[in-house]
Structure 1
């Protein structure tokens, strides 16, 4: 970004995070799809197909989001496509059975969520200095993950009140509509994002980003998306298999994500990002080990969820900052677009495979697969640390 980065007010950023939370409820409600489709006679593979339909439309969202931002401004682009999140939530609730119409609403979800998830960090990058990015990315992603975690809790509350699970989708649609209105009003106050953000993605800028060190953060977010999408999308099935309450997972995950940002995010973002990402991705790996082999009670289930919330949540914030700061000069926005695209491939694409694994081989096979993905993710951070140490040792000799 060529222009000076403005200072954002606390009130404005607070409204931005609140609107992000409300929009995120629509995506969070999709973690109830396995439960909803199961009640209509379908299975996890059917639910995975609906969720993965969103992956196709997110490609379109990533490609057009930059042009939309240049044309309308980032905030109002989010508001416009946020209406698709409202429509998707209503469609999931109102569509009978589990046929092809649900795939259509999955596509709408991908378009709406893709534009929002892509342009949100770009707005933040345009509002704060590079040194502040990790902190403000943590606050944004914390708001979004809180909304995502709240979505399934709406389903649990509906169940406690003896209401159908579709009630959660209706409430998510209402919350998202309020978020849409807030983003539209914020558009005039965030005009700077339109002028300072060159968000359109091209082959040449993509090649520059993927040829830089930012590629490691982009790969890691894709792998992390596989872990998060695979576990969260079928947590209702996991909990049922272990005779547990799935709300414990989302409550633990959400609480850990919020508290870690309030209490330790400021400390983490000031540390060495490579060491921090190694430690946090290791914690995420440990949580998967616990899910696979150590969950035998409500306490151990909650502990695994908390470990995942801290590990995944803070790792995401750290590597989001790495993707922005390790990209070549002038390609920050494009790096964030590719970062979002990799996340979408993981979080929306992996559930299709995950659902198939559950139906054909069982939940244990899925956990072993997720464990392998988390291990690869952690080994990337180990490799980067070792490579840096090797370069530091050889530099004086050269």
Structure 2
């Protein structure tokens, strides 16, 4: 069979991606929390606290997801915990004010999203061969990014039609419910279509140590730093746009369109290139976009351009390092490497908004952008360091020969 031909039917994988898109809407709607909480008298720090509550529950989600997958099957586990995404979206919409009850729904969001986001790539890894992983990870992440980006756009559409922002959360809850039903129904078909199995998906201190002492630690660190950039900018984009008299929907349209088209159309080409060079170039593009947000954006056009650059850089970097995390892991630890990859991402995307909200309230948006710029710079320097180290290693090997 040609490596260009998927061992799983296009219809089955398409339904899997559709279900992933629908569940992702619930997380995408959280980018409207800053707007929702501000309308109720809160501020960015309050919104950051709610979003970061999800970080605590994602630790539990990542740890138990492997055990759940071994016990119930990955798709059934996603379906069961997807119900929590429905509850979280409804909770955000129905809870008055911005009190502690919202923190509870933040915890539910983290549990549901953590299990789904962690087990999704493991399902893909079982459906395709190692040489196909990067391509099909890109298709999955493209579907998820479509849902994530659609969440804030639902809020913008609701405002355009005269509905409150809570309408977006109701729609996200309905979409997630349909996604839950799809995952439940697809469980048997996905198991039958699997071309390989992992001995166990659960993680242990021993397997974690094996992964973190291997080269896979670098993409794991990078996804956490990238999560800080993505979470910090996306969670408070409504505040950034308001401060500059811009329409926040331009950011999500530009970012989502670039990330999706990049992952769907370009990723197949990019993942065949040298992953070290590709990650260096793409993380550099992401760094350049942060410079634009901080010092260049002054109109709708430059705002859209910066969002597109971020979408291409972040979106494609993620696809490349996701494949590296799987392929650089020691034998027999692919699933555990992907679990740690997800955990690192969650620490960044859910943990950083707490700091970001505090920075905005106490120091202003400009200081936040400088902080994000420093994080993106560190991310890029890791790729530069890996390239230099590889060149030195190659030179030493040639000298010994």
Pairwise CA distance, 1:14: 0.7
String of CA shifts for 1:287-308, please: whole Å, max 9, x gaps: 0000000000000000000001
Aligned residue number for residue 277 of structure 1: 279
Alignment length, in residue pairs? 393
Q: In 2, distance between residues paired with 1:387 and 1:9?
A: 41
- Find the residue that maps to 1:42 and give its secondary structure: coil
Q: In 1, distance between residues paired with 2:196 and 2:225?
A: 33
- Find the residue that maps to 1:99 and give its secondary structure: coil
Pairwise CA distance, 1:7: 1.8
String of CA shifts for 1:219-250, please: whole Å, max 9, x gaps: 00000000000000000000000000000000
Structure 1 position 63 matched with structure 2 position 63: yes
Aligned residue number for residue 394 of structure 2: 392
Pairwise CA distance, 1:194: 11
Q: In 2, distance between residues paired with 1:257 and 1:128?
A: 23
Aligned residue number for residue 85 of structure 1: 85
Pairwise CA distance, 1:195: 8.2
Structure 1 position 39 matched with structure 2 position 46: no
Q: In 1, distance between residues paired with 2:310 and 2:176?
A: 26
The answer on whether the counterparts of 1:74 and 1:194 sit within 8 Å (CA) in structure 2 is no
Aligned residue number for residue 239 of structure 1: 241
Pairwise CA distance, 1:338: 0.2
Alignment of 1:118-157 (within 5 A): 118-157=118-157
Aligned residue number for residue 263 of structure 1: 265
Aligned residue number for residue 289 of structure 1: 291
1:194–1:9 Cα change, 3 Å: closer
Q: TM-score, normalised by structure 2?
A: 0.97
Aligned residue number for residue 158 of structure 2: 158
Aligned residue number for residue 367 of structure 1: 369
Aligned residue number for residue 94 of structure 1: 94
Q: In 2, distance between residues paired with 1:352 and 1:105?
A: 16
The answer on whether the counterparts of 2:66 and 2:203 sit within 8 Å (CA) in structure 1 is yes
Measured on the aligned residues, the alpha-carbon RMSD in Å equals 1.1
Aligned residue number for residue 208 of structure 2: 206
Q: In 1, distance between residues paired with 2:107 and 2:212?
A: 27
Q: In 2, distance between residues paired with 1:217 and 1:259?
A: 23
- Find the residue that maps to 2:332 and give its secondary structure: coil
Q: In 2, distance between residues paired with 1:366 and 1:194?
A: 46
The answer on whether the counterparts of 2:207 and 2:333 sit within 8 Å (CA) in structure 1 is yes
Q: In 1, distance between residues paired with 2:348 and 2:115?
A: 16
Aligned residue number for residue 196 of structure 1: 197
Alignment of 1:333-348 (within 5 A): 333-348=335-350
Q: In 2, distance between residues paired with 1:232 and 1:39?
A: 18
Q: TM-score, normalised by structure 1?
A: 0.98
String of CA shifts for 1:376-397, please: whole Å, max 9, x gaps: 0000000000000001111021
Q: In 2, distance between residues paired with 1:194 and 1:138?
A: 19
Q: In 1, distance between residues paired with 2:138 and 2:190?
A: 20
The answer on whether the counterparts of 2:232 and 2:349 sit within 8 Å (CA) in structure 1 is yes
- Find the residue that maps to 1:329 and give its secondary structure: coil
1:200–1:225 Cα change, 3 Å: same
Pairwise CA distance, 1:280: 0.5
The answer on whether the counterparts of 1:277 and 1:315 sit within 8 Å (CA) in structure 2 is yes
Q: In 1, distance between residues paired with 2:236 and 2:75?
A: 32
Aligned residue number for residue 24 of structure 2: 24
Q: In 2, distance between residues paired with 1:323 and 1:60?
A: 21
The answer on whether the counterparts of 2:126 and 2:196 sit within 8 Å (CA) in structure 1 is no
